Amino acid sequence: SAVISQKPSRDICQRGTSLTIQCQVDSQVTMMFWYRQQPGQSLTLIATANQGSEATYESGFVIDKFPISRPNLTFSTLTVSNMSPEDSSIYLCSADRDLGEQFFGPGTRLTVL
Amino acid sequence: QKEVEQDPGPLSVPEGAIVSLNCTYSNSAFQYFMWYRQYSRKGPELLMYTYSSGNKEDGRFTAQVDKSSKYISLFIRDSQPSDSATYLCAMTLGNQFYFGTGTSLTVIP
């Protein structure tokens, strides 16, 4: 299995500001993903973080709002820009080894006031 | 129709009971099937992973896949209070993952 850490674990932010979430994997992985999980709901994929190229965004998510970086095979960041209370959620990073098993980080709990 | 359907529960059982968690799916092309356990305020943790029809056992946990019926199950034997969590099913098609909404389970001592 892969061990994934995320920073920060939680934050409370003001409307209109931006927050960058970091995701670190303890070994090189092929795929990294960013999900959002709102209370009582399942995981919604925001984007796939591609190493060396632009992220691939799912319908309803755009790069201007959720810029993503992936500078190498073990690290990625997600920025939540110009935040509003609707962005309050848990943001999860995950990594997928070649066998198709996906492992998740502990999540970042974001509250926007 | 959602790709993956999962009863959200909540499900409450006494300690020692056998728990059955289920998901149905619509796409017969799904390749891999997984169960995740998510404790409150934690990220999902991969519990079971299988790719073929049949049963896979790991300790008190058994994952069952029935591709002909498009149905997967997770059985928990001798359930413990520490099993109290939300259980998410997931399945893959290529690089795409599809998650159920999760079933909240409480095991009462």
What SS3 string covers A70-87?
A: EEECCEEEEEECCCCHHH
| Residues of chain A neighbouring B45 (CB-CB closer than 8 A) | 104
What CA dihedral angle connects A29, A31, A36 and A41, to 10 degrees?
-100
- Which chain B positions have a beta carbon within 8 Å of A43's beta carbon? 44, 88, 99
Q: For residue A32, which of A59, A8, A53, A11 has the smallest C-alpha distance?
A: A53
Is A106–B101 a contact, with Cβ atoms under 8 angstroms apart? no
* Nearest beta carbon to residue A92 from set B31, B43, B100: B43
Which of B32, B42, B88 lies at the smallest CB-CB distance from A100? B32
Tell me the pLDDT tens digit for each residue of A83-94.
Answer: 999 999 999 999
Q: What is the pLDDT of residues A12-64, one digit of tens each?
A: 999 999 999 999 999 998 889 999 998 777 889 999 998 888 899 999 999 99
* pLDDT, tens only, B36-88: 999 988 889 989 988 888 899 999 999 999 999 999 999 999 999 999 999 99
B99 and A48 in contact by Cβ < 8 A? no
How far is residue A43's CA from residue A2's CA, in Å, rounded to a whole number? 19
Burial B16-42 (b: 16+ CB within 10 A, else e): eeebebbbbbeeeebebbbbbbbeeee
Q: Quick one: how far is CA A93 from the chain centroid?
A: 4
